[in-house]
Structure 1
Amino acid sequence: MKTDVTPATVRDWFSEQPAGKLFTMPTISAIFGVAPGDERRRLAEAVRCGYLCGFLERTETASGRAYRVSGKGMRRPTLEEGDRARRKAEARLARDDRKRRARGAPVSPNKSSRVRAARVSLRAANMPVPATAVQHSVCETVEQFLARGGRVQRLTAHWEQMEQAA
């Protein structure tokens, strides 16, 4: 029966089945002709959606979980294509945001980060400013000091004193 596996197609297929008949996931996969991997994952998500909406009942059997039509209508209405696209876009943005956070990249500011930024900037405003070093003019050399009329007293080092004593 290879068709596009969506919650609507799964719901339509279950509607055509006799009331009370149980179907396990391997049976449903075989009927829809889906291969392991992404197709089977989509089918499982579609069945799970039918269960969460109240359209299907789930019971445990010896061979695993089995599903059957509950006889109740859908508790939640089916989404329009525009709403589905909007929700997918929001989920994609949230997923990308989580990935950026994991990489340490800046993320779009939300309320908690703005509050934290305001608190940090308030603390920074209350911190004292460190004193700046006073800039001194360039020092003069000994020759400039002597040219200005200064006198230099030369002290002998201890090894020079030892040489003079010897």
Structure 2
Amino acid sequence: MSDESGGRAAELRRVFASAPGEALTMQRVYERMGVVGIDQAVERKNIRSTMPCLVRGGFVVKSGLGPAATFKATGAGMRRPTATGEGRAARAVHDRSRAARVGLQAANTPQPINVAKVEPGETVEQFKARGGKVEILPTFWGQAAA
């Protein structure tokens, strides 16, 4: 969760903490957060996208669907989802398969060829003297002269 949405979640938790036992619709949440203006549609959208995090975290419980849905504080603090034995096993399989893919990728990555670098202002003879190899490519004008 980014800092911005983390701050928004904290503000939402404060709104629900200030109204224990009260079921709030999204419109009531918007009013309590002061984002009912026509120019604040983006902030309302961000609040709507943050609410499922609070529901999954166990801080609020949702009842109903759509605009009539209500949210109520559970009184419990936010909890982080923990992996069950089955979830941990699946994660371990994923990690092993990823490690295998990374190993294969490293093995199949071509290694760079060690090529002698030409120094600025160096002649062909000096380059050959240092152990460099010169490859002469055929050209159509070379064939025409022969």
TM range (shorter): 0.3 to 0.5
**TM norm structure 1:** 0.41
* Larger-Rg structure: 1
**TM norm structure 2:** 0.46
